[in-house]
Structure 1
Amino acid sequence: MIKSKLTNGEIGEFYWGYINRIPDDAELIQTLEENTKEFSEFLKTIPQDRWSYRYEPGKWSILEMVQHIIDTERIFQYRALCFARNENGPLPGFDHDIYVLNSDAENREPEDLIAEFKCVRESCLYLYKSLSEDKLKVNGNMNDMNATPRAIGYIMAGHALHHKEVITNKYL
């Protein structure tokens, strides 16, 4: 499945900001694999003294941002699984600020967060490799919008790229 086959009805407008960071000819599994390696390697280059830095009061530290990415991926994987298994009920949204506030990320080590990201993404890859083309196209409802597992997969990769850009531009 390549990104250019996604249609507007597969996900709400907000999420296209993440999806559009991925090239049109990008295949989903390969994108997730390469994105995992690229983002993990990028995180390893961040100097130790920058992980707790905040570029202004009230903004997340890099520790919190990486924990946010991990939490978000877990939630998106659950959503993709629910849709692929024909869950009929709508799935709720989540308040990412509350999750970060309660994450205790400031007491984590960068190496631990990097390892956890890789582990969560590996689980994601197993899930996506198990889904047929038909299952990737199943529509579900999350946070009061339509979504498909394949759109969610590209969102996860684009979300990591978005935060890589934020880290590069605001923290380093």
Structure 2
Amino acid sequence: MIKQDLKQVEFNEYYSGYLNKLPDTLSLIKGYEKGKKDVIDFFTSIPEEKLTYRYLPEKWSIKEVFQHLIDTERVFMYRCFRIARKDATPLSGFNQDTYITPSRADYKSLDQLVSEFEINRSNSISLLQSLSDEDLLFIGNSNGGAMSARAAAFIVLGHDIWHIDIVKERYL
């Protein structure tokens, strides 16, 4: 299964910005495996003194951006799981900003964040490996719009790239 297989009816237009960050030939499992290395390599390359930097006082720190990637993957993989299991119950959205303060990301070490990311990504890969192509094609309702299980999974990968690009542009 590759990103190019996605159809517009499988996701809300809002997510196109993330999906457009991905090459059309990206395979889902390989994307998760490569993305795991890429995200870890990126965040561990940032000097320690920059990790709590905010380019504006009301913006997230780099550690908080990393935590946001972890939290968003959790939410979207939960969506992927529920939709793949053919659960037609509408899934609610989430307010990403309310997740940051209680995460206490700035008080975590980089090693703690990396470990949390690695465990979470490994769980995501395990979930994806357990799902059939048919499971991933199922379309449910997420945040008021149509979303297939595979779209939820691909969005995570594009979301990671989106935020890494923002960190490169505005923080470093």
Query: 2:6 maps to which residue?
Result: 6
Distance in 2, matches of 1:154 and 1:25, equals 12
Quote the RMSD (CA, aligned, Å).
0.8
Counterpart secondary structure, 1:46: coil
The Cα offsets for residues 81-135 of structure 1, whole Å up to 9 and x where unpaired, read as 1011111210100000011122111211111101111110110000001110100
Provide the TM-score with structure 1 as the length reference: 0.97
Gaps of 5+ in 1: none
Query: 1:90 maps to which residue?
Result: 90
Query: 2:138 maps to which residue?
Result: 138
Aligned 1:64-75 pairs, distance under 5 A:
64-75=64-75
Gaps of 5+ in 2: none
Distance in 2, matches of 1:25 and 1:134, equals 19
Q: Which runs of 4+ in 1 moved over 2 A?
A: none
Distance in 2, matches of 1:120 and 1:165, equals 21
CA offset at residue 25 of structure 1? Answer: 1.0
Distance in 1, matches of 2:149 and 2:117, equals 20
Counterpart secondary structure, 2:103: coil
Counterpart secondary structure, 1:65: helix
Distance in 2, matches of 1:47 and 1:171, equals 12
Identical counterparts, % of pairs: 40
Distance in 1, matches of 2:136 and 2:115, equals 27
Distance in 2, matches of 1:166 and 1:50, equals 15
Provide the TM-score with structure 2 as the length reference: 0.97
Q: How many residues align?
A: 172
